[in-house]
Structure 1
Amino acid sequence: MLRFETQKSPMVPYHIRLYQDSDHKSVVDVFTKGAEEYIPSTFRHVLLLPRTLLLLLGVPLALVLMSGSWLLAVLCIFFLLLLLRFLAGQPWKQYVATSLQTDMADITKSYLNAHGACFWVAESGGQVVGTVAALSIKNPPLERKQLQLFHLSVSSQHRGQGIAKALVRTVLQFARDQGYSDVVLETSTLQQGAMALYLGMGFQKTGHHFFISMFWRLVDICAIQLKYSFPSA
């Protein structure tokens, strides 16, 4: 039986419900802003890598030795920082673009009309403030029935109210009701808040791997695989 959660407290109330086609613009906005919020932390991560520090010091120094111009060296550092900031944003922008061209182009078709899948939104004050999706794994391990959690996102103005946790609980309850053995997901080493949330709710790390993107490999950012298994499984 599908259940929905409503929060009642002195804080602003929210309600979790099924996605509707009229939500699409709001869902895309929450999803896009949530993904792009990781661009600054990606940039900071890149700046702290030894190879980046070597680049930022070595190339300008070489220019000074060859040209004798400190102004040229300063300009070089400035443009290198701009380039690194641009590169840090590309994987996230590409992830958003790819999602909007594939599963999120038609959410009803991808999730609500798909067997054993679903898409929920958290609504507060008549606005969509959070999202989460779930899709059945086509080729799970032998004798397992697995559901994958996707697109968990909560708008920055509505965090700290338990919405993300409630959205994850909704997926877990759906999986339990549908007879799934496990709920699985992937997050990145940069998403420490999400990692803490999942681990605190009983998910376990099962592995890690590098993303397909060459940029992620170069800057040592990998995907972390997590799983929540139901005791009855």
Structure 2
Amino acid sequence: KPQIHSLPMAPHHIRKYQKTDRKRVLDLFSQGMVEHIPATFCLGLKMPQTYLVLLGVPVALLLVSGSWLLALGSNVILLVFLWMLARHPWRQYVVMCLQTDLADINKSYLRDRGSCFWVAESGGHVAGIVGALPVEDAPPGRKQLQLFHLSVALEHRGEGLGKALVMTVLQFARAQGYSEVVLETSMVQQDALTLYLRMGFQKTGEYFFSKVFRLLGNSTIQLKYCLPSAQEGGP
């Protein structure tokens, strides 16, 4: 398992969230979620039931009406419906977060010592975000910290900001005496999933966040990182 070391010098700076960051942070979060809509749509297209509907409905309409125009038009309508279906859970999640933990970031993340919210600055601008909150219903004998809202601006990807932000959470967790860092991501967030696995996170479970995601085949993947101090019996 990778050890947690101090981050090397890099052309970015990670610091705690400030109130002046609010608009940029919310924009990064919202954009980061909405960008998964196309991948979710494509995943839905690959589902067997989607093939059946896209093939069956036009054929049935053609046999009944004899109109190719009606048959082709039905496919367009079905594709638009699938796009709206793929978009709905992501937009719903954004609204939910904006009304809960992101409604007041200072209150949610910076009021207690055991939680925090960070931003990564690159070129003088906020280019990445991540938050962490203690797990209230952690299993007995475990002190867990949950990572939330990791997002990096599209134009700053490939600069190591995502890894640096995750390392910041791991360092914070170890300093605060947590035994594990847990998080959830989705099947369509392949870049994030690859990053977590490379950094030593292990898959612990999988479920569907909503009925729509179940229909589209986009599962939520649960991951866990066991901190070295917990394994070694260190402080």
TM class by shorter-chain length?
A: over 0.9
Runs (4+) of structure 1 exceeding 2 A deviation are 3-8
Matched residue, 2:151:
153
The one-letter code sitting in structure 2 at the alignment partner of 1:204 is Q
In 2: Cα distance, 1:7 partner to 1:47 partner: 44
Matched, 1:215 2:212: yes
Corresponding residue number in structure 1 for 2:233: none
Note closer, same or farther for the CA distance 1:191–1:156 as it changes in structure 2 (3 Å cut): same
Structure 2 unaligned blocks of 5 or more: 231-235
Q: Retained in 1: the 8 A contact 2:28–2:152?
A: yes
Q: Deviations over 1:156-179 (max 9, x none)?
A: 000000000000000000000000
Measured in 2, the distance between the counterparts of 1:143 and 1:200 equals: 27
Residue 204 of structure 1: CA displacement? 0.8
Q: Which residue of 2 aligns with 1:88?
A: 86
8 A contact 1:16–1:123 mirrored in 2: yes
What is aligned with 1:231? Answer: 228
State TM-score, norm by structure 2. Answer: 0.93
* Paired AA for residue 217 in structure 2: D
Name 1:129's counterpart in structure 2: 127
CA RMSD of aligned residues (A): 1.4
Identity across the alignment (%): 60
Give the 3-state SS of the residue equivalent to 1:138 in structure 2. coil
Tell me what 1:15 maps to.
13
**Cα offsets for 1:44-90 (capped at 9, x unmatched):** 00111111011011001111111110001111111111111111111
- Please state how far the C-alpha of 1:5 moved relative to its aligned partner: 5.6
Question: What's the TM-score once normalised by structure 1's chain length?
Answer: 0.94
Deviation at 1:143, TM superposition (A): 1.0
Number of residue pairs the alignment of both structures matches: 226
Inter-partner Cα distance in structure 2 for 1:7 and 1:50: 49
Mapped partners of 1:114, 1:62: distance in 2: 61
Deviation at 1:207, TM superposition (A): 1.3
CA distance in 1, matches of 2:213, 2:46: 15
Shift of 1:191: 1.2
